[in-house]
Amino acid sequence: MAFLEYTEVTKKIILRGMTEKIFVRILTLLIVAGFFYSLTGCRSGNTRPDLDSADSGTIRISVDESFRPLIDSEIRVYEALHPKTKIIAEYKPEGECFKDLDSDSTRMIIVTRSLTTEEERYYKEKYYSYPVISRIAFDAIAVVVKKGAPDSIFYKADLKSIINGDALSDKKVIFDGAKGSSVFRYIQDSLMKGGNIDTSRVFAVDGSEEVLKRVEENSKLIGMVGVSWIGNPEDTTQTSFLERVSIASLECRCPEDVFVKPYQANIALGRYPFTRGLYFILRENYSGLGSAFGNFLESERGQLIINRAYLVPGKVNLSIRKAEY
C-alpha cells in the first residue's frame, strides 16, 4: 500500500465537511490496514524478493510418501528451469505433513485430501488468511502381490474380509507408514467405512519401497501403495519392481462384472475403485517460491509430468481413445 503523506494541502482537501479529529482517525485506520496488509500479503502479486521468488531461494515442503517418484520429477524439472532455486522435499506419512503445515519451516504440503472447514477456520484465525488449496491430480491405490501368486483378482469384499479378520485366509495386508498414512486412512474411511480392522492381519512398514520388497518375498502378503510407485512402465525402477510383483485387478465400478487395474483410463473414468485426489496446500502470504512451484504444478508442463507418471492430471483434459489392435 502506498504511503499517504499527511500534508497541510492534503488535509485541507480531505477535510471538506470533516473535522480534523475524524480525519486523524481515518488516517490511523489506513496506516494500520497497510501494516496488516504488509504482514499477510496475497498470492497474486505481493512479492518478497528479500526472501525468495520464482527464480531464487530455498523452501521446504512436506509430501505424502506415496508420491515421492512424481514429486521428485516435478522438482527436478522446476529446478532445471530455475537454477537458483532449491526445493527441499521431506517425504513422510500424510498426518505428519499436516502437522508441518502449522510450522514456520514448511509452507507447502502435498497430500491426498483437502482441508476440513474447521481446519480452514483455524488457519484463517491464526494466520489471517486461508491457505491456497488446489487439486492437481487424481491418483489410485494399487494392490500388489508376489509375481506368480495364485490370487491376483479381488472383489472389494474379499479385501475387506481379510482386513477385518472374517476371511478364512492366511493372507495379510501391508501398507506404507504406520501412523498418519494416507493409504491406511483410505482403508479406514473408504473401504472399511469405520468398521473393525484386525491388527493381526494388517501392518505397516517404513515406506512404499519397503512394501514392494516385502511383497516380492512373501506370497501371503497383499501390498497397497500409491500407483505412482508402480504404474509407470517408462520408469526403470518401477519396471524392475514389476518383474517381481504383479498389480492385482479389482472389481470394476461399472455395470459389467469385470476386473480392472489402476490404469489412467480406469482412474479417469471412475472404473477403478480405489481412487483419490492429490492436492497441494500452500500457506504463503506473498508470491514467493512456494506460490511459483504451485503454479508450476498446475501449469501445462507440470500437468504433463503428472500425465507421464500415469496419474490423471487434475487441471487439463485427458483424451482417452480406444486402442486399435
- Indicate which CATH number applies to the domain containing 79: 3.40.190.10
DSSP letter (8 states) at residue 128:
S
**Residue type present at position 311:** L
Strand partners, 204: 175
Whether residues 201 and 304 fall in one domain: no
Residue 325 in any domain: the answer is: no
For residue 203, what is the enclosing H or E element? strand 202-205
Residue 1 in any domain: the answer is: no
Residue 318 in any domain: the answer is: no
Whether residues 72 and 192 fall in one domain: no
Distance between CA atoms of residues 156 and 133, nearest Å? 31
What grid cell was written down for 199? 491388527
Segment 113-134 shows an average pLDDT of 91
Whether residues 156 and 237 fall in one domain: yes
Residue 322 in any domain: the answer is: no
For residue 154, what is the enclosing H or E element? strand 153-154
Whether residues 170 and 265 fall in one domain: yes
Whether residues 264 and 148 fall in one domain: yes
Lowest mean pLDDT among 16-20, 94-98, 229-233, 254-258: 16-20
Residue 259 in any domain: the answer is: yes
Whether residues 193 and 240 fall in one domain: yes
Task: List phi, psi (to 5°) of 90.
Answer: -110, 120
Distance between CA atoms of residues 191 and 58, nearest Å? 39
Residue 132 in any domain: the answer is: yes
Q: What is the pLDDT of residue 40?
A: 36
Lowest mean pLDDT among 30-44, 114-128, 271-285: 30-44
Segment 21-46 shows an average pLDDT of 43
What grid cell was written down for 227? 500407483
Segment 62-68 shows an average pLDDT of 94
pLDDT(56) > 60: yes
Whether residues 101 and 177 fall in one domain: no
DSSP letter (8 states) at residue 189:
I
What pLDDT band is residue 115 in, cutting at 50, 70 and 90? very high
Segment 148-155 shows an average pLDDT of 91
Whether residues 126 and 151 fall in one domain: no
What grid cell was written down for 107? 509452507
Lowest mean pLDDT among 46-50, 219-223, 250-254: 46-50
Strand partners, 203: 174
- Alpha-carbon dihedral sign for residues 109, 110, 112, 117: positive
Distance between CA atoms of residues 108 and 74, nearest Å? 14
Whether residues 299 and 232 fall in one domain: no
CB-based contacts of 220, cutoff 8 Å, min separation 6: 170, 171, 172
Please, are residues 136 and 299 in contact by the beta-carbon 8 Å criterion?
Answer: no
CB-based contacts of 324, cutoff 8 Å, min separation 6: none
- How many structural domains are present in the chain? 3
Residue 51 in any domain: the answer is: no
162 burial level (CB within 10 Å; 0-12, 13-18, 19+): buried
Whether residues 249 and 165 fall in one domain: yes
Please, are residues 208 and 257 in contact by the beta-carbon 8 Å criterion?
Answer: no
What is the share, in percent, of the chain residues with pLDDT greater than 90?
63
Residue 50 in any domain: the answer is: no
- 31 is in which domain, residue-wise? 8-40
Whether residues 144 and 271 fall in one domain: yes
pLDDT(292) > 80: yes
Whether residues 81 and 127 fall in one domain: yes
Q: What is the pLDDT of residue 23?
A: 39
What Å distances lie between residue 186 and 174, 236, 272, CA to CA? 13, 28, 14
